[in-house]
């Protein structure tokens, strides 16, 4: 892998179509910006349509010729996910890049999605699982489609408890977030296994931004409302972490670099993977367990009622 990769090395993406979830701010915005700068037609999938429109105008200030559009998407609602997928699929164009970026973090008390799932697990994992499955036909229209699923170093703290995925027995905000990010990794790796087993050209790649200054905490978190955590966010992240623009680099590298393979996990190269140029990241042992991934996949299909018909199961869930 190139040691000092930056977005300047993104090849021309003219003629490519990319959909980025949560593209109105933070890492998602900078991902959309750089893909547009490289010539891709970028669809910003955002919960708030007004914020999506504002993000498009911000991108056009830097890239006047950018091809941009938006689709309303609330990942906490299966109905919204179906409508968003239908809106894209109706365009009958190949989807070359799907960036599963949107997420929420550390919701202080247990809340549920419109469909009754714990909010973080439902939004961060199940929402993207359903969206990817519903867009699979459009992805397979592309010559070399990639699905990039954004995880976090927090996945290493997660415990995978299949009898408490929706935190019905007990709820801890950061534990629920960590579980959702582990689920993102399990999904990304299992998607690659199944695509490879089916002989499909799709590459599924996971990435994480390190510690980046985004508005993720503001999306319902308790962290931004406690003085200690507010201080840590203001002082610690700029010192040891990186900007949201740099946080997008691993995602952009995963999406565009020729040397990236399906099943890779990309993150910052610096100490503790907090910051730095993109490289292969380290994942926890449970994230690499095919049987756990197959079981989560099976449960995700049951919960979302979204089936990945063209894909072949790689391992039977036990």
The DSSP annotation for 197-221 comes to HTT---EEEEE---SEE-SGGGTT-
Per-domain boundaries in the chain: 12-304
pLDDT at 211: 87
Cα(247)–Cα(282) distance, integer angstroms:
17
Sign of CA dihedral 272, 193, 149, 262: positive
Q: Are 63 and 36 in contact (CB under 8 A)?
A: yes
Lookup: tokens for 307:
């089936």
Q: Are 35 and 42 in contact (CB under 8 A)?
A: yes
Neighbours of 310 (CB within 10 A): 14
Give me the architecture of the 12-304 domain, per CATH. Answer: 3-Layer(aba) Sandwich (3.40)
pLDDT at 314: 60
The 10 Å CB-count burial string (b at 16+, else e) for 168-191 is: eeebebbbbbbbbbbbbbbbbbbb
Q: Please identify which residue in the block is written with the tokens 């489609």.
A: 145
Lookup: tokens for 304:
């979302």
Give the sheet arrangement for strand 41-46, strand by strand.
Answer: 67-72, 41-46, 17-21, 97-100, 146-150, 203-207, 265-268, 278-280
Per-residue pLDDT of the chain (318 residues; tens, 9 = 90+): 788 999 999 999 999 999 999 999 999 999 999 999 999 999 999 999 999 999 999 999 999 999 999 999 999 999 999 999 999 999 999 999 999 999 999 788 999 999 999 999 999 999 999 999 999 999 999 999 999 999 999 999 999 999 999 998 899 999 999 999 999 999 999 999 999 999 999 999 999 999 877 655 444 444 444 444 454 555 555 566 788 999 999 999 999 999 999 999 999 998 888 899 999 999 999 999 999 999 999 999 999 999 998 886 666 555
Q: Any idea which residues carry the catalytic annotation?
A: 177
Give the SS3 label for residue 41.
strand
pLDDT at 242: 84
Sign of CA dihedral 215, 254, 100, 171: negative
């Amino acid at each position: 892998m190139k040691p000092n990769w930056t977005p300047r090395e993104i090849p021309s993406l003219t003629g490519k179509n990319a959909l980025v979830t949560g593209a109105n701010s933070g890492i998602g915005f900078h991902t959309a910006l750089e893909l547009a700068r490289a010539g891709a037609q970028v669809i910003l999938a955002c919960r708030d349509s007004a914020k999506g429109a504002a993000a498009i105008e911000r991108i056009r200030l830097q890239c006047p010729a950018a091809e941009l559009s938006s689709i309303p998407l609330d990942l906490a609602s299966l109905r919204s996910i179906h409508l968003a997928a239908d809106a894209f699929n109706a365009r009958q164009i190949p989807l070359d890049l799907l960036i599963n970026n949107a997420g929420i973090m550390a919701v202080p008390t247990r809340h549920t999605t419109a469909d009754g799932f714990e909010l973080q697990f439902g939004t961060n994992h199940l929402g993207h699982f359903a969206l990817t499955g519903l867009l699979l036909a459009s992805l397979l229209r592309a010559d070399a489609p990639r699905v990039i699923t954004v995880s976090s170093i927090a996945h290493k703290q997660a415990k995978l408890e299949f009898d408490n995925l929706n935190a019905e027995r007990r709820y801890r905000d950061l534990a629920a977030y960590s579980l959702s990010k582990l689920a993102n990794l399990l999904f990304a790796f299992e998607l690659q296994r199944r695509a490879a087993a089916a002989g499909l050209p799709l590459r599924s790649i996971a990435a994480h931004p390190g510690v980046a200054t985004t508005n993720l905490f503001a999306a319902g978190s308790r962290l931004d409302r406690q003085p200690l955590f507010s201080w840590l966010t203001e002082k610690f992240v700029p010192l040891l972490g990186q900007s949201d623009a740099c946080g997008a680099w691993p995602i952009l590298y995963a999406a565009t670099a020729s040397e990236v393979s399906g099943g890779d996990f990309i993150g910052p190269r610096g100490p503790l993977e907090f910051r730095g140029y993109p490289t292969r990241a380290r994942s926890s042992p449970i994230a690499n367990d095919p049987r756990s991934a197959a079981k989560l996949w099976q449960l995700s299909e049951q919960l979302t009622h979204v089936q990945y018909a063209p894909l072949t199961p790689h391992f039977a869930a036990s």
